[in-house]
Protein backbone atom coordinates (compact mmCIF):
# COMPACT_ATOMS: atom_id res chain seq x y z
CA UNK A 1 0.00 0.00 0.00
CA UNK A 2 1.16 3.52 -0.77
CA UNK A 3 1.38 5.50 2.48
CA UNK A 4 2.34 8.75 0.79
CA UNK A 5 -1.07 10.39 0.58
CA UNK A 6 -2.13 13.98 -0.08
CA UNK A 7 -3.26 15.84 3.01
CA UNK A 8 -5.48 18.85 3.69
CA UNK A 9 -2.45 21.02 3.04
CA UNK A 10 -2.05 19.68 -0.51
CA UNK A 11 -5.43 20.86 -1.75
CA UNK A 12 -7.06 24.30 -1.89
CA UNK A 13 -9.95 24.27 0.58
CA UNK A 14 -10.69 28.00 0.81
CA UNK A 15 -14.34 28.69 0.10
CA UNK A 16 -14.90 24.98 -0.64
CA UNK A 17 -17.40 22.68 1.02
CA UNK A 18 -15.27 20.06 2.76
CA UNK A 19 -16.79 16.85 4.07
CA UNK A 20 -14.52 15.65 6.86
CA UNK A 21 -14.93 12.14 8.30
CA UNK A 22 -13.92 12.23 11.97
CA UNK A 23 -13.90 9.64 14.71
CA UNK A 24 -16.42 11.03 17.19
CA UNK A 25 -17.30 7.57 18.50
CA UNK A 26 -16.99 8.78 22.09
CA UNK A 27 -18.09 6.93 25.22
CA UNK A 28 -21.42 8.22 26.60
CA UNK A 29 -23.11 7.52 29.92
CA UNK A 30 -26.56 8.88 30.75
CA UNK A 31 -26.38 11.28 27.82
CA UNK A 32 -23.03 12.72 28.94
CA UNK A 33 -19.67 12.28 27.17
CA UNK A 34 -17.30 10.53 29.60
CA UNK A 35 -14.15 11.14 27.53
CA UNK A 36 -13.81 13.82 24.86
CA UNK A 37 -10.33 12.63 23.85
CA UNK A 38 -11.39 11.77 20.32
CA UNK A 39 -13.07 15.14 19.81
CA UNK A 40 -9.97 16.93 21.06
CA UNK A 41 -7.79 14.79 18.76
CA UNK A 42 -9.85 15.90 15.75
CA UNK A 43 -9.38 19.62 16.46
CA UNK A 44 -6.15 20.30 14.48
CA UNK A 45 -7.72 19.29 11.16
CA UNK A 46 -11.00 21.08 11.88
CA UNK A 47 -9.22 24.24 13.02
CA UNK A 48 -7.02 24.20 9.92
CA UNK A 49 -10.09 23.96 7.68
CA UNK A 50 -11.83 26.79 9.57
CA UNK A 51 -8.73 28.98 9.36
CA UNK A 52 -8.46 28.39 5.63
CA UNK A 53 -12.05 29.57 5.21
CA UNK A 54 -13.53 26.22 4.20
CA UNK A 55 -17.19 25.41 4.73
CA UNK A 56 -16.71 22.51 7.08
CA UNK A 57 -19.14 19.57 7.09
CA UNK A 58 -18.16 17.01 9.72
CA UNK A 59 -19.44 13.46 9.94
CA UNK A 60 -18.89 10.39 12.09
CA UNK A 61 -20.54 7.28 13.39
CA UNK A 62 -21.24 6.60 17.05
CA UNK A 63 -22.07 3.18 18.46
CA UNK A 64 -24.09 0.64 16.52
CA UNK A 65 -27.55 2.03 15.72
CA UNK A 66 -27.80 -0.52 12.85
CA UNK A 67 -29.40 1.73 10.27
CA UNK A 68 -32.06 3.27 12.53
CA UNK A 69 -32.45 6.64 14.21
CA UNK A 70 -31.68 6.15 17.91
CA UNK A 71 -31.96 9.37 19.94
CA UNK A 72 -29.40 8.13 22.51
CA UNK A 73 -26.84 7.82 19.70
CA UNK A 74 -27.42 11.28 18.24
CA UNK A 75 -24.25 13.29 17.68
CA UNK A 76 -25.91 16.41 19.14
CA UNK A 77 -23.83 15.98 22.34
CA UNK A 78 -20.70 15.97 20.19
CA UNK A 79 -21.79 19.16 18.40
CA UNK A 80 -22.28 20.83 21.80
CA UNK A 81 -18.85 19.79 23.10
CA UNK A 82 -17.17 20.67 19.82
CA UNK A 83 -18.80 24.13 19.92
CA UNK A 84 -17.19 24.70 23.33
CA UNK A 85 -13.79 23.46 22.18
CA UNK A 86 -13.79 25.45 18.94
CA UNK A 87 -15.32 28.56 20.49
CA UNK A 88 -17.86 28.78 17.70
CA UNK A 89 -21.27 27.29 17.06
CA UNK A 90 -21.31 23.90 15.39
CA UNK A 91 -24.53 23.66 13.41
CA UNK A 92 -26.24 20.30 13.95
CA UNK A 93 -28.03 18.63 11.05
CA UNK A 94 -31.15 16.62 11.81
CA UNK A 95 -30.19 13.89 9.35
CA UNK A 96 -27.17 12.35 7.62
CA UNK A 97 -27.55 13.42 4.01
CA UNK A 98 -31.25 14.23 3.83
CA UNK A 99 -33.12 17.50 3.30
CA UNK A 100 -31.95 19.16 6.51
CA UNK A 101 -28.27 18.31 5.94
CA UNK A 102 -28.53 19.51 2.33
CA UNK A 103 -30.17 22.81 3.28
CA UNK A 104 -27.71 23.50 6.07
CA UNK A 105 -24.69 22.53 3.94
CA UNK A 106 -25.89 24.82 1.13
CA UNK A 107 -26.28 27.74 3.56
CA UNK A 108 -22.82 27.39 5.15
CA UNK A 109 -20.52 30.38 5.03
CA UNK A 110 -16.73 30.25 4.87
CA UNK A 111 -15.28 29.20 8.23
CA UNK A 112 -18.57 27.81 9.53
CA UNK A 113 -18.79 24.27 10.85
CA UNK A 114 -21.67 21.82 10.78
CA UNK A 115 -22.03 18.22 11.91
CA UNK A 116 -24.14 15.59 10.17
CA UNK A 117 -26.11 13.06 12.21
CA UNK A 118 -24.63 9.66 13.09
CA UNK A 119 -23.74 8.11 9.72
CA UNK A 120 -24.86 4.67 10.94
CA UNK A 121 -28.45 5.95 11.24
CA UNK A 122 -28.40 5.24 7.49
CA UNK A 123 -28.71 1.58 6.51
CA UNK A 124 -26.44 2.13 3.51
CA UNK A 125 -23.46 3.31 5.58
CA UNK A 126 -21.96 -0.03 6.59
CA UNK A 127 -22.91 -1.56 3.22
CA UNK A 128 -20.93 1.12 1.42
CA UNK A 129 -24.08 1.80 -0.57
CA UNK A 130 -23.22 3.91 -3.65
CA UNK A 131 -26.54 5.77 -3.33
CA UNK A 132 -25.62 7.02 0.16
CA UNK A 133 -22.02 7.71 -0.89
CA UNK A 134 -23.32 9.84 -3.77
CA UNK A 135 -25.70 11.73 -1.48
CA UNK A 136 -22.92 12.44 1.02
CA UNK A 137 -20.63 13.55 -1.80
CA UNK A 138 -23.31 15.90 -3.13
CA UNK A 139 -23.01 17.95 0.05
CA UNK A 140 -19.37 18.84 -0.61
CA UNK A 141 -16.55 19.60 -3.06
CA UNK A 142 -13.74 17.78 -1.23
CA UNK A 143 -13.54 14.74 1.07
CA UNK A 144 -11.11 14.64 4.00
CA UNK A 145 -10.72 11.41 5.94
CA UNK A 146 -9.38 11.87 9.45
CA UNK A 147 -10.88 8.79 11.12
CA UNK A 148 -8.13 6.18 11.39
CA UNK A 149 -10.22 4.05 13.77
CA UNK A 150 -12.59 3.20 10.91
CA UNK A 151 -10.07 3.29 8.04
CA UNK A 152 -10.14 -0.52 7.84
CA UNK A 153 -13.86 -0.40 7.00
CA UNK A 154 -15.17 0.19 3.50
CA UNK A 155 -18.23 2.23 4.44
CA UNK A 156 -19.94 5.07 2.58
CA UNK A 157 -18.52 7.80 4.82
CA UNK A 158 -15.04 6.26 5.12
CA UNK A 159 -14.30 5.19 1.56
CA UNK A 160 -17.35 5.12 -0.76
CA UNK A 161 -17.69 8.90 -0.86
CA UNK A 162 -14.15 9.13 -2.30
CA UNK A 163 -15.51 7.62 -5.54
CA UNK A 164 -17.23 10.96 -6.19
CA UNK A 165 -14.93 13.59 -4.63
CA UNK A 166 -11.23 14.45 -4.55
CA UNK A 167 -10.08 12.81 -1.31
CA UNK A 168 -7.18 13.62 1.03
CA UNK A 169 -6.28 12.86 4.63
CA UNK A 170 -6.42 15.01 7.75
CA UNK A 171 -3.62 15.41 10.28
CA UNK A 172 -4.58 12.37 12.38
CA UNK A 173 -4.44 9.90 9.52
CA UNK A 174 -1.37 11.65 8.14
CA UNK A 175 0.42 10.98 11.44
CA UNK A 176 -0.77 7.37 11.64
CA UNK A 177 0.37 6.45 8.15
CA UNK A 178 3.51 8.55 8.39
CA UNK A 179 4.83 6.84 11.51
CA UNK A 180 3.42 3.33 11.10
CA UNK A 181 4.00 3.29 7.36
CA UNK A 182 7.68 4.19 7.85
CA UNK A 183 8.05 1.58 10.58
CA UNK A 184 6.79 -1.12 8.25
CA UNK A 185 8.40 0.06 5.02
CA UNK A 186 11.74 1.45 6.14
CA UNK A 187 12.29 0.98 9.89
CA UNK A 188 15.32 2.08 11.85
CA UNK A 189 16.89 -1.16 13.08
CA UNK A 190 16.89 -3.13 15.25
CA UNK A 191 13.12 -3.33 14.79
CA UNK A 192 11.33 -5.13 17.62
CA UNK A 193 7.64 -6.05 17.68
CA UNK A 194 5.90 -7.09 20.88
CA UNK A 195 2.60 -8.91 20.58
CA UNK A 196 0.27 -9.95 23.38
CA UNK A 197 -3.42 -10.33 24.05
CA UNK A 198 -5.63 -13.31 24.50
CA UNK A 199 -5.69 -15.28 21.27
CA UNK A 200 -3.17 -16.41 18.68
CA UNK A 201 -5.99 -16.79 16.18
CA UNK A 202 -6.64 -13.01 16.22
CA UNK A 203 -3.07 -12.26 15.28
CA UNK A 204 -2.08 -15.01 12.84
CA UNK A 205 -1.55 -12.68 9.92
CA UNK A 206 0.12 -10.03 12.02
CA UNK A 207 2.71 -12.56 13.22
CA UNK A 208 3.27 -13.78 9.69
CA UNK A 209 3.65 -10.28 8.24
CA UNK A 210 5.85 -8.96 11.05
CA UNK A 211 8.23 -11.91 10.64
CA UNK A 212 8.99 -10.48 7.19
CA UNK A 213 9.97 -7.12 8.69
CA UNK A 214 11.34 -7.30 12.23
CA UNK A 215 14.65 -8.30 13.77
CA UNK A 216 13.02 -9.55 16.97
CA UNK A 217 9.47 -10.71 17.59
CA UNK A 218 8.35 -10.96 21.21
CA UNK A 219 5.23 -12.92 22.10
CA UNK A 220 3.56 -12.55 25.51
CA UNK A 221 0.03 -12.62 26.90
CA UNK A 222 -2.42 -15.49 26.55
CA UNK A 223 -1.21 -16.23 23.02
CA UNK A 224 2.27 -17.17 24.26
CA UNK A 225 1.04 -20.48 25.73
CA UNK A 226 0.18 -21.92 22.34
CA UNK A 227 3.76 -21.13 21.29
CA UNK A 228 5.08 -22.75 24.47
CA UNK A 229 2.94 -25.81 23.71
CA UNK A 230 4.42 -25.82 20.20
CA UNK A 231 7.84 -26.02 21.84
CA UNK A 232 6.62 -29.15 23.59
CA UNK A 233 6.02 -27.61 27.01
CA UNK A 234 3.00 -28.53 29.14
CA UNK A 235 0.96 -25.39 29.79
CA UNK A 236 -1.47 -26.61 32.46
CA UNK A 237 -4.79 -24.78 32.37
CA UNK A 238 -3.39 -21.78 30.47
CA UNK A 239 -5.11 -20.44 27.37
CA UNK A 240 -4.29 -22.87 24.58
CA UNK A 241 -5.46 -22.98 21.00
CA UNK A 242 -4.71 -26.60 20.09
CA UNK A 243 -5.67 -26.03 16.46
CA UNK A 244 -2.97 -23.38 16.11
CA UNK A 245 -0.06 -25.36 17.56
CA UNK A 246 1.09 -26.37 14.08
CA UNK A 247 0.82 -22.77 12.92
CA UNK A 248 3.02 -21.67 15.83
CA UNK A 249 5.55 -24.34 14.87
CA UNK A 250 5.52 -23.00 11.32
CA UNK A 251 6.07 -19.46 12.58
CA UNK A 252 8.96 -20.59 14.78
CA UNK A 253 10.54 -22.29 11.77
CA UNK A 254 9.97 -19.19 9.64
CA UNK A 255 11.62 -17.00 12.28
CA UNK A 256 14.63 -19.27 12.33
CA UNK A 257 14.90 -19.38 8.55
CA UNK A 258 14.73 -15.58 8.35
CA UNK A 259 17.15 -15.02 11.18
CA UNK A 260 14.47 -13.30 13.27
CA UNK A 261 14.87 -13.68 17.01
CA UNK A 262 11.61 -15.01 18.47
CA UNK A 263 11.37 -14.34 22.19
CA UNK A 264 8.82 -16.21 24.31
CA UNK A 265 8.29 -15.94 28.07
CA UNK A 266 10.92 -17.84 30.06
CA UNK A 267 8.83 -17.72 33.21
CA UNK A 268 5.19 -17.12 33.98
CA UNK A 269 2.93 -16.03 36.83
CA UNK A 270 0.39 -18.77 37.54
CA UNK A 271 -2.74 -19.15 39.68
CA UNK A 272 -5.18 -21.96 40.39
CA UNK A 273 -7.83 -20.28 38.26
CA UNK A 274 -8.73 -17.12 36.36
CA UNK A 275 -9.52 -14.27 38.79
CA UNK A 276 -13.22 -13.80 39.51
CA UNK A 277 -14.03 -10.96 39.60
CA UNK A 278 -11.30 -10.13 37.14
CA UNK A 279 -9.76 -7.51 39.42
CA UNK A 280 -10.33 -9.48 42.63
CA UNK A 281 -7.71 -10.91 45.00
CA UNK A 282 -5.68 -13.84 43.70
CA UNK A 283 -2.89 -16.12 44.97
CA UNK A 284 -0.07 -16.34 42.46
CA UNK A 285 3.41 -17.78 42.11
CA UNK A 286 6.04 -17.64 39.40
CA UNK A 287 7.29 -20.77 37.63
CA UNK A 288 9.62 -21.46 34.72
CA UNK A 289 7.89 -21.54 31.34
CA UNK A 290 8.63 -25.26 31.01
CA UNK A 291 7.36 -26.07 34.51
CA UNK A 292 3.75 -24.91 34.55
CA UNK A 293 1.86 -27.21 36.96
CA UNK A 294 -0.98 -29.18 35.36
CA UNK A 295 -3.59 -27.64 37.67
CA UNK A 296 -2.48 -24.03 37.19
CA UNK A 297 -3.08 -21.28 34.66
CA UNK A 298 -0.53 -18.80 33.33
CA UNK A 299 -1.86 -15.26 33.69
CA UNK A 300 1.14 -12.95 33.26
CA UNK A 301 4.77 -13.06 32.22
CA UNK A 302 7.25 -13.60 35.08
CA UNK A 303 10.02 -11.33 36.25
CA UNK A 304 12.78 -12.84 34.10
CA UNK A 305 10.62 -12.47 31.01
CA UNK A 306 9.88 -8.85 31.94
CA UNK A 307 13.62 -8.15 32.07
CA UNK A 308 14.26 -10.01 28.82
CA UNK A 309 11.48 -8.21 26.94
CA UNK A 310 12.36 -4.80 28.44
CA UNK A 311 16.02 -5.19 27.43
CA UNK A 312 15.03 -6.02 23.86
CA UNK A 313 12.72 -2.99 23.72
CA UNK A 314 15.32 -0.67 25.17
CA UNK A 315 18.05 -1.70 22.73
CA UNK A 316 15.79 -1.31 19.69
CA UNK A 317 15.54 1.66 17.34
CA UNK A 318 11.93 0.93 16.41
CA UNK A 319 9.39 -0.83 18.64
CA UNK A 320 5.82 -1.73 17.82
CA UNK A 321 3.63 -3.05 20.65
CA UNK A 322 0.13 -4.49 20.45
CA UNK A 323 -1.64 -6.44 23.20
CA UNK A 324 -1.19 -6.87 26.98
CA UNK A 325 1.33 -9.32 28.46
CA UNK A 326 -1.17 -10.72 30.98
CA UNK A 327 -4.55 -10.20 32.59
CA UNK A 328 -3.66 -6.57 33.19
CA UNK A 329 -7.17 -5.72 34.42
CA UNK A 330 -6.00 -7.24 37.72
CA UNK A 331 -3.24 -5.21 39.44
CA UNK A 332 -1.49 -8.40 40.60
CA UNK A 333 -1.35 -9.63 36.99
CA UNK A 334 -0.54 -6.27 35.38
CA UNK A 335 3.19 -6.29 36.12
CA UNK A 336 4.24 -7.72 32.75
CA UNK A 337 2.16 -5.18 30.84
CA UNK A 338 3.45 -2.34 33.02
CA UNK A 339 7.06 -3.49 32.51
CA UNK A 340 6.64 -3.39 28.73
CA UNK A 341 4.92 0.02 28.85
CA UNK A 342 7.75 1.29 31.05
CA UNK A 343 10.42 -0.10 28.74
CA UNK A 344 8.83 1.67 25.78
CA UNK A 345 8.55 4.91 27.74
CA UNK A 346 12.24 4.70 28.67
CA UNK A 347 13.44 3.62 25.24
CA UNK A 348 14.97 6.16 22.89
CA UNK A 349 13.57 4.18 19.95
CA UNK A 350 10.65 5.21 17.79
CA UNK A 351 7.90 3.59 19.86
CA UNK A 352 4.49 2.77 18.44
CA UNK A 353 1.62 1.38 20.46
CA UNK A 354 -1.23 -0.10 18.49
CA UNK A 355 -4.59 0.82 19.96
CA UNK A 356 -6.90 -0.87 22.43
CA UNK A 357 -5.62 -2.33 25.71
CA UNK A 358 -1.95 -1.49 25.28
CA UNK A 359 -2.78 2.13 24.46
CA UNK A 360 -5.06 2.31 27.52
CA UNK A 361 -2.28 0.83 29.68
CA UNK A 362 0.22 3.49 28.52
CA UNK A 363 -2.30 6.24 29.15
CA UNK A 364 -3.35 4.98 32.60
CA UNK A 365 0.28 4.72 33.63
CA UNK A 366 0.95 8.28 32.52
CA UNK A 367 3.46 7.20 29.84
CA UNK A 368 1.48 8.43 26.85
CA UNK A 369 3.67 11.47 26.22
CA UNK A 370 6.81 9.32 26.31
CA UNK A 371 5.60 7.11 23.45
CA UNK A 372 6.29 8.33 19.90
CA UNK A 373 2.87 7.32 18.63
CA UNK A 374 -0.20 5.76 20.20
CA UNK A 375 -2.49 4.67 17.41
CA UNK A 376 -6.08 5.85 17.61
CA UNK A 377 -7.37 2.68 15.96
CA UNK A 378 -7.30 -0.78 17.52
CA UNK A 379 -8.63 -2.91 14.65
CA UNK A 380 -7.24 -0.54 12.04
CA UNK A 381 -3.73 -0.62 13.48
CA UNK A 382 -3.79 -4.42 13.59
CA UNK A 383 -4.82 -4.59 9.93
CA UNK A 384 -2.08 -2.09 9.18
CA UNK A 385 0.46 -4.37 10.88
CA UNK A 386 -0.96 -7.28 8.89
CA UNK A 387 0.09 -5.41 5.79
CA UNK A 388 -3.49 -5.12 4.54
CA UNK A 389 -4.73 -2.30 2.40
CA UNK A 390 -7.09 -0.11 4.47
CA UNK A 391 -10.00 1.09 2.29
CA UNK A 392 -10.24 4.46 4.07
CA UNK A 393 -6.61 5.15 3.18
CA UNK A 394 -6.33 3.44 -0.19
CA UNK A 395 -9.14 5.71 -1.48
CA UNK A 396 -7.11 8.89 -0.85
CA UNK A 397 -5.08 10.64 -3.56
CA UNK A 398 -1.41 9.71 -3.76
CA UNK A 399 1.12 12.52 -3.44
C-beta of 166 vs 379, nearer to ligand AMP: 379
Residue 305 Cβ vs ligand AMP, minimum distance, rounded to whole Å: 12
196 is catalytic: no
Please, which residue, 236 or 392, has the CB nearer to ligand AMP?
A: 236
Across 229-253, b (16+ Cβ under 10 Å) vs e yields: bbeebebbbbbbbeebbebbeebbe
CB closer to ligand AMP, 183 vs 239: 239
Closer residue to ligand AMP (CB): 292 or 310: 292
Active-site residue identified among 221, 356, 378, 392: 356
Binding residue per annotation — 23?
A: yes
Contact residues: ligand AMP, CB under 6 A: 197-199, 202, 221-222, 239, 298-299, 323-324, 326-327, 329, 356-357
16 is in an annotated binding site: no
Determine if residue 134 is labeled as part of a ligand binding site. no
Is residue 303 part of an annotated ligand binding site? no
Contacts of 206 (CB under 8 A, 6+ apart): 195, 322, 382, 385, 386
Residue 360 burial (C-beta neighbours within 10 Å; 0-12, 13-18, 19+):
middle
Q: Edge-to-edge strand order for the sheet containing 17-21?
A: 90-92, 113-115, 55-59, 17-21, 142-145, 167-169
To the nearest whole angstrom, how small is the minimum distance from the Cβ of residue 329 to ligand AMP? 5
Give CA–CA dist 172/156, Å, rounded: 20
| 124 counts as catalytic | no
**Does the annotation flag 25 for ligand binding?**
yes
356 tagged catalytic:
yes
Catalytic residue among 67, 178, 379, 387: 379
**Closest CB to ligand AMP among residues 141, 303:** 303
**CA-based end-to-end distance of the chain:** 13
Per-residue CA distances from 323 to 39, 148, 267, 375 (Å): 25, 18, 18, 13
Active site residue 220: no
152 in a known ligand binding site: no
Find residue 297's DSSP bridge partners. 271
SS3 content of the chain, % helix, strand, coil (to 5): 40, 15, 45
Q: How far is the CB of 318 from ligand AMP (least distance, A)?
A: 21
Q: Are 219 and 262 in contact (CB under 8 A)?
A: yes
Q: Residues with catalytic annotation?
A: 38, 199, 356, 379
Q: Which segments are annotated as binding site for substrate?
A: 23-25, 38, 61-64, 120, 153
Q: Which segments are annotated as binding site for ATP?
A: 203, 298, 329, 355-358
Q: Which segments are annotated as binding site for (2R)-3-phosphoglycerate?
A: 38, 120, 153
Amino acid sequence: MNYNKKSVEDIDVTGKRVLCRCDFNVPIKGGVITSDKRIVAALPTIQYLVKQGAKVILCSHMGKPKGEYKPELSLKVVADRLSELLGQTVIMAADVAGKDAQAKAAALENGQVMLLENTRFEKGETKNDPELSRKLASLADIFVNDAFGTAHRAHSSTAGVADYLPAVCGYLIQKEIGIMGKALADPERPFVAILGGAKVSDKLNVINNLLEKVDTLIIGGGMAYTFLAAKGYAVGKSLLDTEKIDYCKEMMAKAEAKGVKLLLPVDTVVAASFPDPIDGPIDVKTVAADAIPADMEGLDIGEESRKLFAEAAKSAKTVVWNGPMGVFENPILAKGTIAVAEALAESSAVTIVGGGDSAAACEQLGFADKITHISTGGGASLEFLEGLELPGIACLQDK
